[in-house]
Structures are given as structure tokens and as C-alpha cells.
Structure 1
Amino acid sequence: MQNSKSTLAVFFIVVASFFENGILLAQTQKITNQGINFISGDFNTILTKAKTVKKPVFVEVYLNGCPHCEALAPVLTEKSVGDFFNANFISWKTEANSKESAAFQKSKGVTYPEFPIMFFFDFNGDLIHLVTPAERKTRAEFIEEVLAAGRAALDPMQRTGSYATRFKSGDRDLMFLINYGKYCKTIKDQIALTEINDTLGKLLTSPQDITSQAGFYILQRLINDVDNPLSAYFFTHLNEFKSKYPAKDVKEAGEAILFHSLYGPKGDVYPSARIVNMRKDMVKIGVTETEASARLLLKELDAYLREKNTKAAVRRFNEYRKQASSLGLSDYAYLMKYFNEKATDNSYLSELPIWANEGIRLAKSTEANTKVMASLYYELAEAYWKMDKKPEAIKSAGKGLETAKTAKDDLTRFQEQVGRMK
């Protein structure tokens, strides 16, 4: 950790504005139109022009209402910035929630880790560099921040495309690891991001470093594994973070770690006990018990059924039924199908008629003859058939078929079920 102290101190200064709501103050200089010449159109239009002139492409993605984007905007109108970017790039900008942005993300397979974000592509459309510029104390420093990003994009040795090689060669500078992590997050390289996070977990070990603004920034933006040492410290020392940072930021950081853990590479292998603890951690950061229970219900059920513990899965769902107030017909129809398909034994079967009756009772009048109701009867018939209750199974199958006809659903599976049970 000694080798990263100076870098940590520098990063502390760079990101200070993000944690103090410090928007770069507007300068008294007159804003001119001598800055970057952003071309109108969509990304493909810009790429076509770039191929014609054999220039790389610069893309700024901003978010309406983002104070950091608003701070960057006047810097991009500076003459020195315009002179450099107009000479070296074809430039385009897009608002994060626009249709053009959605199309851009889909075509390039990228996500936005934070705002603003600066992408650089070669004229063939391959990503060569990206930067999430940090606000600086002075306009001159902020200008240099933006120019440095452009210069790096033109230098193959500094581009983010070279980061994997630098990491493998042993580069462990803290700022480099953070930038490499944001790059991997942007291009959705979860395997490399996890490796970087493991390295960060070994690099930042003291409470002072972990709770520093750099450490908290890493927790907020990069950590994707609840078992990472930084995560472990975070969830066991929440009061330390709450005393230094806004409760909203602490809550969102914890939610992001838990979300990425549950839906990342390890999401389908966590044991049930670990997921239960994750639900408790969610409550600790400020999520209500009811909401936490709803968010993790299916993950808990999946874990129990992977462990061939159907009784525990049934018990968990019944606990949730008593707690939740928002369950409806579609929820019961889905869970009945879920258990019919995934349960490893028949211990759940006696519960399905109870769940079906509850779903029917909670159904709105407009749901009486819908595809969802037909599906509920279908799953109920399957349960009765497995319980060797043939009359009840045939009756439910008939109701499912008739409801499906009324709902103008595809009748194939309903007809096959009725035929199988006759």
C-alpha cells in the first residue's frame, strides 16, 4: 500500500468535488462558439464522415441535469479545446436517454458507468479509448484534463485498449486500476472487472484507505462482488461510511454491490444462507424488509431448489405471502409454474391448490378470462395430476382450455394437457 499513497492522495483531490456537491463555478470569461464542432446526426452518420476523412471519432455522452456534465459543457467551448479536437477528431455528442444514445449503446455494446463520459473510436468504429473526466479546481486545469484525454486517445501506448496488457505486466497504480475498472465496466467485461476488483481488495487494506473518498468511490463505481474484502468491510462498518458520506450515497453503493453480485457471474451459485445474509445486508443499508424480501425472493428460492430443499423454498414463499401486500394473480401463476418446473420432489404439491385459490381470489375482474388465468389453471391441473387426483386435474385442465379459448391464447399445450389426462 505504501507505493499507492501518493496516487491515493492525488485521487482524493480529483474526486473531491463529487462528494462535496462542488460544481465547477462558472467563469466570468465570455463563452464563445470556438469550441468543439459537434456534428449532427446519429453515430453511423458520424462514422461515415470519419471514414471519408480518415479521422477517429470523439463521442461525448452527457445526462440532462447532471452537474458534472454542466461543468464540462463550457470547457468544450474553449478555443484551445476546439482547435485540438477539430483538428484530430470527428465529434458527436448525445444525451444519455435519447433514442440516438440507445442505438449507439446497442450497436457498440457499451454501458455508461457515470457521466459525463468521453468515447474515442477509430474510423472503423472500434473503441480505442474512453475517459470519465473529473472536475478540476480551475478552468485551466479542467481544459488540460480534456486535452489530455484527447492526446491519450491518439497515443496507442496510453489508450484504454492497452490497459489489459499493462495490467498483465504488473501495473498496479491506483488511478490506472480505477480507470481500467471503469473501462471494463463500460465494455461489460465482467471477468476482467472482477480480477481488477480482487486486486483493489488486496491493495486497499487499512480502514483509512477503504473509507477514504477514493475507497468509497471504488465501492460505489467498481466493486461487483459482495465477498470482495472491500465489500466485507463496507457491510460490517456501515456506521463509519454513514458518518462520512450522505446516507443516500451509502445506500446506493450497497445496493449496487448486492445487485451486481446477485446478477453477476456468481449469482447462480450462492448458497441459500449467503443470500439470506445479503437480504439482511440490504435492510442494514436502509431498504425496508418488505422490499428486500421481494428483491431477493427468487434468488433465495433458486438457491433452496439447487440445494434440493423444496420444503425450505415452500416455507420461504409462504413467509413472503404473509409479508407482501402486492401479490396478485400473475405472481401466483408464475410461482406455480416455477415450482412445477424446478422442484426436485413433490413436497410442494399440497400448497399449489392453496396458492391457486389465493391467486383467483386476488384476481381483478378484468383478469377472469385472461391468458394468465388460463396458465394458473394449467399449472393447477399439473399439480393435481402429480398428486394422483385425476378428477380435480381433469376439471382444472378443462377450465384452463376454456379460459384459453376465451383469451384467444395458443391452445396447443392446453389441448395436449386435456388429451393426456382423459
Structure 2
Amino acid sequence: MATSTAVHLQNRVLLAKIHFSICYNLMKSTLFSLVFSLLLFPVFSQGIKFEEGTFPQLVNLARQQHKLLMVEVYLNGCPHCAALAPVLQEKKVGDFFNPAFVSTKIEANSAISKELQQQKGITYPEFPLLFFFDANGQLIHQASPAERPNREEFIREVIKHGNEALTPSLRTGNYAARYAKGERGSEFLVNYGKYAKATKDVARQTQIGADLAKLLTKPADMESANGFYIISRLLNDFQNPMAKHFFANLPKYQKYNTSENPKAVKDAAEAIIYNTLYGARTNSLKSSEVVAMREAMVRLGNPAKVVAPRTLLKELEAHFREKNTPAATARFNEYRRIATMDFLDYSYIVRLFNEKATDNSYAPALAGWVTDGAKLFNPGNANHTKDKLADLHNECSKAYLKIGKKSEAKKAVQEALNIAKAAKINTKPYTDQLAKCN
């Protein structure tokens, strides 16, 4: 009996050990899984919670939660965007942003990004960008988080921009008021310039560029990394003093061409030229300015015949404003010698001269343009229509009539009328012109 009891106790002890071993191993397994999960997935559980949806849906969600909407715009392949991504998933950043903002992220070339740009009238001056919108979907703040030397500083940088979005007096939407009160610090002007560029306020961007040029007047300052940043990102006027220094000293800026962006200097120069040609002063440019920009593009390594079409119309328009039709005529004749022309090019230019020229000195040359243009007419080209061919000859008639050559004018419009009749298109413009030639 004693032996049986001893055996029974031994068995119970053994079973208890087995049970403890199983429970302990299970506990270790569960604990390991939990620790492993925390180690493997902290990014997805602690940082900013990004929502998906259309812009109106996200604005509505933010309104319901009594929050602001934050939109991160990133660009695939952008190293600065890649550097920011893990910072946005830091616990400190999530703890700050999630209670105050509904957040989303969009790729710059995505369909939702294009819709956002169209709906809000914004563009992207650089990447990455943070846009902040209020409960009505109005843009109130914009920020460009700068990379910092270590993670803690980068976290503080991102949270700083969030704090600014929450503080009305610090928002970029309040910059106009601060500017009106006389604020002109360099950091303020740079941020305001980026905001003006993003919101397509061309005139304001031009003025801010002029203000920055008053602060950076020494060659060393203009040629510094900060100077090149301003030149490449914010200047939109070829006549800005910093831009003038830049174009006069292009070799000194070649150090900013990197493996990441081997055409940084060329891109910056062409952006300034393009924004000048089509910016706030586009209708008041002098012909000498346009010529200088054309020559600058050639110095950048672009072939003259590639550059010429980019500036031709702006040169002609400037000559017409200056009442210098002979110069406009000479420029187009020069252009014809180096450029590859199309029938439609001649069609447009001939009409432009008839409408904009301030004297009739171009008329004899125009007849030759019409002859050359008509030779390029291609019935197989869907854009080369018979009505445009007829119009080309009609414009020739108008030019001849301006200089009193009625017989030549009548012959040209008769050609137009014949084309129109054969093509069975409206002949009234040509019969009306024919009546003027009699």
C-alpha cells in the first residue's frame, strides 16, 4: 500500500512537471511571438495613421473628427522623400499628429495628386511637401521638411511644422499679413517664396525674389549652396540681380551638378528663362531681353535650332510692341534659315504679321512665306486641312492689298476661292476679300 501510494505520488509529480513544462514552453512561445511582432512591426503601429480616399472624403472625415487635414506629397525615386518616410512612422510623430490631424499621403504623379492640383490650384515647388487644409478644404499651411543630421532632430523638424499648422499666426496662409507688416528675414522670405510658388502667385514670387536679392548681394553668398537653392527653386525673373549673376558665372555653379541631379544648373537656368518668358512680365518683355535669354540657352549647350522655336513668338511679340516690324521680319527670315518649318507654322506666322505688325514693310516678304508654306501642305496630314490652305492664300491677299498691289491681291484670293470651292467649304471669307480687291 505504501509502495502504491509512493508510486501514485511520483506519477502526480511527474504529471505536474510535464504540465508545468508545457505551460512554460507555451508561455515562452507566446511571449516570443509578441516580442517578435513588436520588433518587426513597430513602424506600422506607432507612427502617423494614413487614411485613403478622395480629397473631399478626407476633408469630410477631418471635419467630422474636428481635425485638420494633412496631405504628404512624395515623389517616387526622391531620396529626400525616402528619408522622411521612416520619420513619419516614429511613435513621437504619430503621438503628435494622430490626435490633431487626419493624414494621407499621395504620390506626385498619381491621379489623386493631379485632381488635388486642379481643385486647389497648386503646384509642387519641391519634394517632399506637407499641405495642411482646414475643415472647409482651404489650404492654410505648407511645409517642406528638411533632412536633419540625426533622427531626433528630424522628428523635431516634422513636429515643428505640425505645430505651425496648428498656430494661426505661424501658418504660411498668414505670411501675406506678416509681409505687409515689413517682415523680411531670409528664412521667412524663402518659405514665403515656396508658398507663393505652390499657390501660383507669380507676381508675389517675383517680388520675394527681388527681396532676397537685396539680402544676398555678395558673389560668395550668391554662389553658396543657399544661394543656388534660392536661384534654382524660387527665382522666376531673368532680370533679378541674383539671376544675372548666375547667368554671367555659370561655370562657378557647376559644382552643384551631382550624380543625383547631373543637370541641376541647366535645369535651374532653363526654369528661370521659361518662367520669365511666360510669367508676370510676359507682355512687357523687351526684344533685347528675349534675345539674351535665347543666347543664354545656347550657352547652356542647346543647339540654336532647338532653342529658336522656344523664343520666336516672344521675340516677334516684343518687336511688335516696340513698333519695329522690320526687326520682326528679319528675325523670322533668320529663323526660317535654321529651323524646320511646317505648313501650320507658316499659317500661324502669316496671320500674326497681318494682325500685329505696326507697318506694312513685311508684306513683300510675306508673299514668299506663303509660297514656301503652301509647298509644305500635306493632304495626308489630318491637321493640314483645305480651309487652312485657303486661309493662307487669303492672308497673302490681305498683305498685298495693304501695299496697294490689287492685282496680286486678287490673284491670291482667287487661289483661296478655288481651293474652297473644290473642297466644298465656306467661301464667304474669300468672296468678301475678292470684293475688296476690285
The alpha carbon displacement at 1:282 in A equals 1.9
Q: Which amino acid aligns with 1:382?
A: K
Q: For the structure 1 residues 413 and 139, does the alpha-carbon distance in structure 2 shift closer, same or farther, using more than 3 Å as the test?
A: farther
Superimposed CA distance per residue, residues 144-193 of structure 1 (whole angstroms, 9 cap, x where no aligned partner): 22221111100112111222222233333222211111011111122222
Q: How does 1:12-411 map to 2 (within 5 A)?
A: 32-34=43-45, 35-246=47-258, 248-324=263-339, 326-367=340-381, 369-401=385-417, 403=419
> What secondary structure is seen at the aligned counterpart in 2 of 1:123?
coil
Q: For the structure 1 residues 354 and 115, does the alpha-carbon distance in structure 2 shift closer, same or farther, using more than 3 Å as the test?
A: same
Unaligned runs of 5+ in 1: 1-27
Contact 2:407–2:437 (8 Å) recurs in 1: no
- Normalising to structure 1: TM-score of the pair? 0.86
Superimposed CA distance per residue, residues 10-64 of structure 1 (whole angstroms, 9 cap, x where no aligned partner): xxxxxxxxxxxxxxxxxx9866213322222211111122222222111112222
Q: For the structure 1 residues 52 and 241, does the alpha-carbon distance in structure 2 shift closer, same or farther, using more than 3 Å as the test?
A: same
The whole-number CA distance in structure 2 between the counterparts of 1:394 and 1:355 is 18
The whole-number CA distance in structure 2 between the counterparts of 1:406 and 1:84 is 75
- Normalising to structure 2: TM-score of the pair? 0.83
After superposing the two structures, state which structure 1 stretch, 133-142 or 209-218, moved more.
Answer: 133-142
The whole-number CA distance in structure 2 between the counterparts of 1:339 and 1:301 is 9
Superimposed CA distance per residue, residues 316-356 of structure 1 (whole angstroms, 9 cap, x where no aligned partner): 100010011x2110000000010010001111111122111
How many percent identity over aligned positions?
Answer: 47
Q: Which amino acid aligns with 1:343?
A: A
The alpha carbon displacement at 1:417 in A equals 3.7
The whole-number CA distance in structure 2 between the counterparts of 1:99 and 1:193 is 27
> What secondary structure is seen at the aligned counterpart in 2 of 1:91?
strand
The alpha carbon displacement at 1:385 in A equals 2.9
Contact 1:401–1:411 (8 Å) recurs in 2: yes
Superimposed CA distance per residue, residues 286-311 of structure 1 (whole angstroms, 9 cap, x where no aligned partner): 32222222211111111111111111
After superposing the two structures, state which structure 1 stretch, 147-156 or 83-92, moved more.
Answer: 83-92
> What secondary structure is seen at the aligned counterpart in 2 of 1:264?
coil
Contact 2:140–2:171 (8 Å) recurs in 1: yes
Q: Which amino acid aligns with 2:402?
A: K
Unaligned runs of 5+ in 2: 1-38
Q: How many residues align?
A: 394
Q: For the structure 1 residues 371 and 98, does the alpha-carbon distance in structure 2 shift closer, same or farther, using more than 3 Å as the test?
A: farther
After superposing the two structures, state which structure 1 stretch, 198-207 or 270-279, moved more.
Answer: 270-279
The whole-number CA distance in structure 2 between the counterparts of 1:389 and 1:197 is 52
> What secondary structure is seen at the aligned counterpart in 2 of 1:366?
coil
Contact 1:226–1:232 (8 Å) recurs in 2: yes
Q: For the structure 1 residues 29 and 140, does the alpha-carbon distance in structure 2 shift closer, same or farther, using more than 3 Å as the test?
A: farther
> What secondary structure is seen at the aligned counterpart in 1 of 2:44?
coil
Q: Which amino acid aligns with 2:390?
A: A
Structure with greater contact order relative to length (CA < 8 Å, sep ≥ 6): 1
The whole-number CA distance in structure 2 between the counterparts of 1:77 and 1:372 is 60
